[in-house]
Amino acid sequence: MQSMIRNLAHSVAVLAVAISPFVLPASAHAEEVTLVISNNQWLDSLRGERLWAAIKKYESTNPGVTLEQVAVPAQEYADRLMTEMGAGQGPDLAIVQEDLFYTLGNADFLSSLDDVVAGAQNLNVTNENGVVDGVALGLGWQRAVYALIYNRALLESSGASLPKTTEEMIEQAKAISEATGAIGFTSRHSMNEFRGWSYDFQNWVFGFGVEWVDSEGNLTINTPQAMAALNAFKLAYDSGVIPIGDPMNTQRSRFKEGRVAFSIDNSGGALNIASGGAMPSSDMGAAPMFFEHPGAHQQIFITVSKHSDHPEEAKAFLSWFVSPEGQKAMREVSGPDALATDVPVTAEYEAVNPWAPMFAELAKTSRSTLIPGYEAETTSIMRVVMEAVERMLITGESAEEVLAAAQAKIDAKFD
């Protein structure tokens, strides 16, 4: 199926409209209503509980509505949601990553939110990709930007410095490990964590100037820039600074314990690491990544299912969600993530979390993990790419060989 093309001009026009707020019909809330909201984030330690508590504040001003969560592990989430919605079932509202958002939209599983958008004020650019073929299908839940995060105490105690290249990162990571016994660098590195790894890896390829498409919109996988990115990642993988075999949740836990020097992670991951662990949040630092070009962000949308039994109530909840009250509640638990409106991080938060402002700065130039013109197909394209990367890591094939094979496979699929 051809990917849906965004009408950005229309999206800007829609987002600029500010008329009277979305109003429920008189019959709404006449009886008790339960809105089911699915999200893999509900399972995140600490952050999941706080996000849920934030949106549960809606119930205090809407006593006829009960919010009920469905928590699904990230690795199962996309398949489960597609299966449920394909059967005409599933939650009333779903919080989804940008690639899954396009897949659900392509399958015509999402309701228009044009009336919610028209009644909202101050929506920012994080909502633009939620407008597809001129119809608003999603609102910005959170935008998680990537940065190089590090443990300040470990760097100071070992005399290490922030790296500017992959080679410098390896050198500094090894020096910290030798001086302190800490892990040098953490990263996903296996198809066992395909979805998260594919998001993370976009920072490496974007950092080396990869575009994935040429000026005519043709998919370009086998390029010198991509080869350079793969070779750089393999250099880090082979150097011994990455704990090979450990899943990312284990690696993040070790960072939280103060046992990791460097990692490339997004603002949501950084917030998770900085919350509730042995390492004080003030010990975390954030810096630009050790690449020449800007990195990536992960966009998350909140959507309403076409199969919802309570679509008007679901849209009323979203009207509250993008209101100053709802956005304030989200800001209090979202750390440095960009939200649907430009509600600022408080000075009090920055004082406790000095790493937070860097994410806002990097968000000014970050790129979507989706491939332009192939938004709905990005996951399948990146699966081919990441399988090639894994093959290079474990078989010794060259970047040139695996990317040539990946290009041929993708050409055959999309020609």
Q: Cα dist. 31→62, 92, 100, 195 in Å? A: 12, 17, 33, 40
pLDDT one-digit tens code per residue, 163-184: 999 999 999 999 999 999 999 9
Statement to judge: residues 276 and 329 lie in one domain: no
Q: How many Å apart are CA 111 and CA 105, to the nearest integer?
A: 9
The torsion angle over the Cα atoms of residues 156, 293, 185 and 386, rounded to 10 degrees, is: 170
Q: Is residue 1 part of a domain?
A: no
82-115 burial, b at 16+ Cβ within 10 Å, e below that, comes to bebbeeeebbbbbbbbbbbbbbbbbeebbbebeb
Task: Determine the 3-state secondary structure of 8 from DSSP.
Answer: helix
Task: Work out the percent of the chain whose per-residue pLDDT is above 90.
Answer: 82
Q: Is residue 3 part of a domain?
A: no
Statement to judge: residues 286 and 324 lie in one domain: no
Statement to judge: residues 169 and 287 lie in one domain: yes
CATH number at residue 355: 3.40.190.10
Q: Which residue type sits at 175?
A: A
Res 37: pLDDT: 98
| pLDDT, mean over the chain | 91
Q: Is residue 14 part of a domain?
A: yes
120-152 burial, b at 16+ Cβ within 10 Å, e below that, comes to beebeebbbbbbbeebbbbbbbbbbbbbbbbbe
Q: How many Å apart are CA 120 and CA 169, to the nearest integer?
A: 45
Q: Is the pLDDT of residue 8 over 80?
A: no
Q: What's the whole-number mean pLDDT along residues 387-408?
A: 97
Q: What's the whole-number mean pLDDT along residues 240-244?
A: 98
Using 50, 70 and 90 to split pLDDT, how confident is the model at 30? Answer: low
How many domains, in total, are found in the chain?
Answer: 2
Res 25: pLDDT: 41
Q: What's the whole-number mean pLDDT along residues 215-230?
A: 97
Statement to judge: residues 132 and 197 lie in one domain: no
Statement to judge: residues 280 and 404 lie in one domain: yes
Write the DSSP string, 163-212.
-SSHHHHHHHHHHHHHHH--EEEE---SGGGHHHHHHHHHHHHHHTT--S
Q: Is residue 304 part of a domain?
A: yes
The DSSP 8-state label assigned to residue 87 in this structure reads T
Using 50, 70 and 90 to split pLDDT, how confident is the model at 222? Answer: very high
Beta bridge partners of 67: 35
Res 26: pLDDT: 34
**Are 410 and 213 in contact, with CB atoms under 8 Å apart?**
no
Q: Is residue 320 part of a domain?
A: yes
Q: Is the pLDDT of residue 345 over 90?
A: no
Q: How many Å apart are CA 369 and CA 27, to the nearest integer?
A: 42
- The domain in which residue 18 lies consists of 8-144+298-360
Last residue of a domain, one of 360, 387, 405: 360
Q: Is residue 410 part of a domain?
A: yes
Q: Minimum mean pLDDT among 38-47, 51-60, 258-267, 395-404: which range?
A: 38-47
Statement to judge: residues 153 and 93 lie in one domain: no
Q: What's the whole-number mean pLDDT along residues 307-319?
A: 98
End-to-end Cα distance, the chain: 13
Last residue of a domain, one of 360, 376, 402: 360
Q: How many Å apart are CA 140 and CA 376, to the nearest integer?
A: 18
Res 45: pLDDT: 76
Q: Is residue 37 part of a domain?
A: yes
Q: How many Å apart are CA 2 and CA 121, to the nearest integer?
A: 33
- Report the predicted TM-score, pTM, of the whole model to 2 decimal places: 0.79
pLDDT one-digit tens code per residue, 228-237: 999 999 999 9
Res 156: pLDDT: 97
Last residue of a domain, one of 360, 382, 402: 360
Structure tokens at 385: 């790419």
Statement to judge: residues 196 and 330 lie in one domain: no
| Helical axes 98-106 vs 378-395, angle rounded to 10° | 130
Q: Is residue 2 part of a domain?
A: no
Statement to judge: residues 348 and 260 lie in one domain: no
**Are 93 and 301 in contact, with CB atoms under 8 Å apart?**
no
Statement to judge: residues 247 and 165 lie in one domain: yes
Q: Minimum mean pLDDT among 5-19, 186-200, 342-356: which range?
A: 5-19
| Helical axes 378-395 vs 399-414, angle rounded to 10° | 150
**Are 278 and 226 in contact, with CB atoms under 8 Å apart?**
no
Res 50: pLDDT: 92
Statement to judge: residues 265 and 302 lie in one domain: no
Sequence-ordered alpha helix ranges (H) in 239-323: 248-256, 267-274, 311-321
Statement to judge: residues 290 and 324 lie in one domain: no
Q: How many Å apart are CA 202 and CA 299, to the nearest integer?
A: 13
Statement to judge: residues 179 and 192 lie in one domain: yes
